[in-house]
Amino acid sequence: MKLTRRDVLKTAAASSAMVALNSSFPMVEEALAAEPDKWVKAVCRFCGTGCGVMIGVKGGKVVTVKGDPNNHNKGFLCLKGALMPPIVYAKERVTKPYIRKNGQLQPASWDEAMNLVVGKFKIALKEHGPTSIAFYGSGQALTEESYLASKIWKAGFRSNNVEGNPRLCMASAVGGYVTSFGKDEPSGSYEDIDAATCFFIIGSNMSECHPILFKRVASRKQADPNVKVIVVDPRKTNTARIADEHVSFKPGTDLAILNAMAYVIIQEELDNPRFYEKYVNFMTNDKKKVNFKAYQKFLEDYTPEKAEKISGVPAEQIRRIAIMFASASGTVSFWTMGLNQRIRGVWANNLVTNLHLLTGHIGKPGATNFSLTGQPNACGGVRDTGSLCHLLPAGRVIKKASHRAQLEKQWGLKPGTIAPKPGLHTIALWNAFSEAKIKAMFVLCTNPAHSLPNVNMYTEGMKRKDNFMVLSEPFMDAETVKYCDVLLPPAFWCEKRGVYGCSERRYSLLMQAVEPMGECKSDIDILLDFARRMGVDSKVIPFKNVDDVWDEWREVSSATPYNFKGMTRARQEKESGLRWPCPTEDHPGTKIRYVRGEDPNIPKDYKNKYWYYGYPDGKAKLWMRPYAPAAEEPDAEYPMVLTTGRVIDHWHTGTMTMKVPELRRSFPKAYVEINEDDASKLGIKNGDNVELETRRDTMVFQAKVSDVCRPGLVFVPWFDANLMINKLTLNAFDKGSKQPEYKICAVRIKKA
Ligand code: MGD
Ligand code: MGD
Ligand code: SF4
């Protein structure tokens, strides 16, 4: 369906509603403005779907955007993707450096700003050592930026305090994949959607958060009426509106539902012993290898009737969805933050994977367990390059001496250079910054003063005089700007060059379309300048530009199963994305991992079909994870559950999407979504002001009364800088992944 700019803008305000209808999904296939002088190939700035875009440039300025017909999105974009140009030229763009003097940010030269930054980092290093400095990055930074920052810190400063917002986002998915397969990242790809006959969507509001992928799911269902969609979410979201089965439950209890599904699958003899007897180890929660019988015994605690008592889901519905999942010819599971942002996030991930290992719905076209990445480069930038406090590039971990030694060799470092102790994970890092134990912090491409949970605690810490924060941020109105000591002006999206890696392991090149505004520099140039001024050995950081960084990263990956040696810049410029592993320049990239004949890491003459090479015996692990309650369950004092999440037309903290009039109009401010029965009991009507109080803070939102939330649950979107729900959320986190539980906390509400 082709739309004119006028059509698109007319539908913008109603875009969320349109998505549910799917047949009239607003897609933008054509240029929206004047015919440009040239088209430049890039990737959408927003979600982990990673749609390819063509940027239209006229007179040296970005004038329009259209979908790249050669990338997986086949020319389609959602509205956020199609409406990016005004963001580049927003009046709030930071175009020169600033230094805070007497509490106010004052314009400064690059030299003045960088000298101050470097002075602070040098003093911290000299007086308090490498553990007193930190880098806090982003799954929206380019791959080269994350790799470079991580190398500067880990190899240049011997500091493992390298973290970023993927800890708030994908850490539990990483934990899930690594514990189940010994290796991170999904094994399937988007083509699986076209072959699946059942979709199991749990804790993901795909229609609003991965719209172009959701369109592919909806089209698949439309094309074949036998295709089933199961949506497991305590809210009846737009995604749920195309479901054959919407499973609504008490938030946090889905672990019991997933175990009960496994119980039913075995009871109905829909399990696949031929697969699991050969390729799966059954593991207890305390890491003991056991047999299938022990698993069956474990599942006795999760009969559908017992799970009904825990979750509120009728036993009969659990039976129905289990049978639907297992008896389909191919089932694809998708999940995102509804599972990851939980103190049992890793376990929840394992339990979805269990269903695939039990039924053999894995490693075949249309059958895969697929965690959707949120940010455009959370996979390619941070997970793969190991830019977190416990990781090293390409799946290596800091704790392992052999992994450190491999990296030291590849990086040409003296043995023992990389510090053996992992750094501080995100919550611990910001706690340490608040206590001024971290003395100097470099924040890049993220807005923590808005996005951290229980955020008042951390903004108090950011106000201290005895810690120092340098922030690279393109927009003056981003919340964290209020707290930084130095503000640097980065080039934005189309003004720089580098790689984004999306959910399906596809790495696509963003080519620079226009010159950076004012005195802006790309984050790569900012980091290279920082390393040089800090005196980092030029043998450790020998790069002149972003392409040099990419070439080293290709080389470093090539000794591992990640291997994207074959993704040369020349190829990336020509092709619209390649999926790793891609070991040679003539390799087409990999659709399905762990399968002989598909995954280049498996020798062609390997005797079995599957090989989970993350574990020495080549078998995946099926974990017995029990249900356990959330960190803060509702009680007599705070009787309801507060959950937070997204709306289709805004991105995270709103610094970008709030600058597009059509998107801002569509959701001008945050609100609280309340179930109609709860509202009537509390005397709340649509549009009333409602006070929400948690153990952290109290805030007032306008009520949106509907059937979306189940009774006992309220939802607040978190994009609004004037109504930051993170003042109310909880910073409890998963012990394994260290990802916070944004999705559940106890709240009491009343009409304000
Ligand atoms: P959320 O709204 O955070 O989005 O994508 P999603 O995870 O799909 O949460 C998803 C769902 O989890 C909600 O519908 C919520 O009701 C449900 N949920 C709450 N509690 C539970 C529970 O106990 N169990 C289950 N199963 N579900 C629960 C997030 C993704 O979106 C991410 S991580 C990023 S970084 C991107 N951000 C983003 C954005 O900001 N805006 C838009 N429009 N798209 C985005 N795409 C990406
Ligand atoms: P963003 O708004 O994406 O949110 O949290 P953040 O990363 O803090 O921030 C990105 C910042 O980078 C913006 O200020 C943007 O203007 C800036 N920026 C854009 N382009 C560039 C660039 O090229 N260079 C530089 N230097 N800066 C740039 C995201 C985080 O939030 C995530 S990923 C998740 S999944 C969490 N989800 C979540 C939730 O579901 N609920 C609640 N309540 N809170 C959440 N917080 C988490
Ligand atoms: Fe951009 Fe995601 Fe929309 Fe694709 S689906 S155009 S990547 S926001």
Q: How confident is the model at residue 604 (pLDDT cuts 50, 70, 90)?
A: confident
CA atoms of 512 and 69, how far apart (whole Å): 19
Ligand number nearest CA of 477 is: 2
CA atoms of 192 and 374, how far apart (whole Å): 19
For the chain, how big is the Rg over CA atoms in Å? 25
3.40.50.1110, 3.30.300.130, 3.40.50.2000, 3.40.228.10: CATH of 171-371: 3.40.228.10
Q: For ligand 2, is residue 741 a contact (CB within 6 Å)?
A: no
Spell out the residues 6+ positions from residue 390 whose beta carbon is closer than 8 angstroms to its own: 160, 397, 398, 399, 422, 423, 425
What is the token pair recorded at 40? 């430049």
Would the pLDDT of 686 be above 50? yes
CA atoms of 410 and 684, how far apart (whole Å): 63
CA atoms of 442 and 320, how far apart (whole Å): 51
Question: Distance from CA of residue 516 to its chain's centroid?
Answer: 27
Active site residue 496: no
Amino acid at 733: F
Q: For ligand 3, is residue 452 a contact (CB within 6 Å)?
A: no
The pLDDT of residue 378: 86
The alpha carbon of 137 and the centre of ligand 2 are apart by a number of angstroms equal to 10
> Which residue's CA is minimally distant from atom 12 of ligand 1?
338
CA atoms of 482 and 463, how far apart (whole Å): 9
Question: Distance from CA of residue 612 to its chain's centroid?
Answer: 24
The alpha carbon of 444 and the centre of ligand 1 are apart by a number of angstroms equal to 23
Would the pLDDT of 10 be above 80? no
Question: Distance from CA of residue 345 to its chain's centroid?
Answer: 13
The pLDDT of residue 13: 38
The alpha carbon of 499 and the centre of ligand 1 are apart by a number of angstroms equal to 24
For strands 198-202 and 228-232, give the pairing.
Answer: parallel
CA atoms of 12 and 78, how far apart (whole Å): 10
Across 664-682, average pLDDT: 97
Per the listing, tokens 């009846």 go with 236
Averaged confidence pLDDT in the chain: 95
Beta bridge partners of 370: 334
The alpha carbon of 605 and the centre of ligand 1 are apart by a number of angstroms equal to 42
The pLDDT of residue 585: 97
Q: For ligand 1, is residue 652 a contact (CB within 6 Å)?
A: yes
The alpha carbon of 510 and the centre of ligand 3 are apart by a number of angstroms equal to 15
CA atoms of 516 and 493, how far apart (whole Å): 9
Pocket test for ligand 3, best of 19, 27, 49, 214 (most atoms within 8 A of CB): 49
Active site residue 739: no
Parse the chain into domains and list their residue ranges. Answer: 5-88, 98-166+377-503+512-541, 171-371, 640-729
- H helices, E strands: number in the chain: 26, 29
CA atoms of 164 and 606, how far apart (whole Å): 39
Atom of ligand 2 nearest to the CA of 472: 26
- Going by C-alpha positions, the residue among 299, 342, 343 that lies closest to residue 322 is 299
- Going by C-alpha positions, the residue among 676, 142, 149, 109 that lies closest to residue 387 is 149
Q: What is the pLDDT of residues 295-342, one digit of tens each?
A: 999 999 999 999 999 999 999 999 999 999 999 999 999 999 999 999
The pLDDT of residue 35: 85
3.30.365.10, 2.130.10.10, 3.60.15.10, 2.40.40.20: CATH of 640-729: 2.40.40.20
Across 397-403, average pLDDT: 97
Q: What is the pLDDT of residues 121-148, one digit of tens each?
A: 999 999 999 999 999 999 999 999 999 9
* 428 CB burial (10 A radius; 0-12, 13-18, 19+): middle
Active site residue 681: no
- Going by C-alpha positions, the residue among 719, 716, 702 that lies closest to residue 745 is 716
Q: What is the pLDDT of residues 63-92, one digit of tens each?
A: 999 999 999 999 999 999 999 999 999 999
Active site residue 169: yes
Three-class SS state of 472 = strand
Would the pLDDT of 640 be above 60? yes
Spell out the residues 6+ positions from residue 101 whose beta carbon is closer than 8 angstroms to its own: none
Atom of ligand 1 nearest to the CA of 208: 43
CA atoms of 632 and 746, how far apart (whole Å): 6
Backbone φ and ψ of 133, nearest 5°: -120, 155
The pLDDT of residue 11: 47
> Which residue's CA is minimally distant from atom 30 of ligand 1?
374
Instruction: Note whether 726 and 451 are within 8 A (CB).
Output: yes
With vertex at residue 612, the alpha carbon angle to CA 611 and CA 617, rounded to the nearest 5 degrees, is 85
Would the pLDDT of 18 be above 60? no
The pLDDT of residue 7: 52
What is the token pair recorded at 613? 């090479």
Would the pLDDT of 5 be above 90? no
* 376 CB burial (10 A radius; 0-12, 13-18, 19+): buried
Q: What is the pLDDT of residues 262-279, one digit of tens each?
A: 999 999 999 999 999 999
Across 385-398, average pLDDT: 96
Q: What is the pLDDT of residues 207-253, one digit of tens each?
A: 999 999 999 999 999 999 999 999 999 999 999 999 999 999 999 99
Active site residue 574: no
Question: Among 604-608, 639-643, 702-706, which stretch is predicted with the lowest mean pLDDT?
Answer: 604-608
Across 476-501, average pLDDT: 98
> Which residue's CA is minimally distant from atom 1 of ligand 3?
81
Q: What is the pLDDT of residues 439-468, one digit of tens each?
A: 999 999 999 999 999 999 999 999 999 999
Active site residue 645: no
Q: Does domain 98-166+377-503+512-541 have CATH number 3.40.50.740?
A: yes
CA atoms of 600 and 23, how far apart (whole Å): 39
Neighbours of 379 (CB within 10 A): 32
Candidates 41, 66, 80, 591; catalytic one: 80
Instruction: Note whether 40 and 472 are within 8 A (CB).
Output: no
Amino acid at 297: K
Q: For ligand 1, is residue 648 a contact (CB within 6 Å)?
A: yes
CA atoms of 712 and 642, how far apart (whole Å): 9
C-alpha separations of 476 from 28, 94, 105, 165, 479 in Å: 30, 6, 10, 20, 8
The pLDDT of residue 34: 58
* 676 CB burial (10 A radius; 0-12, 13-18, 19+): middle
Fold for 5-88, please state it.
N-terminal domain of TfIIb (2.20.25)
- Percentage of the chain beyond pLDDT 70 is 95
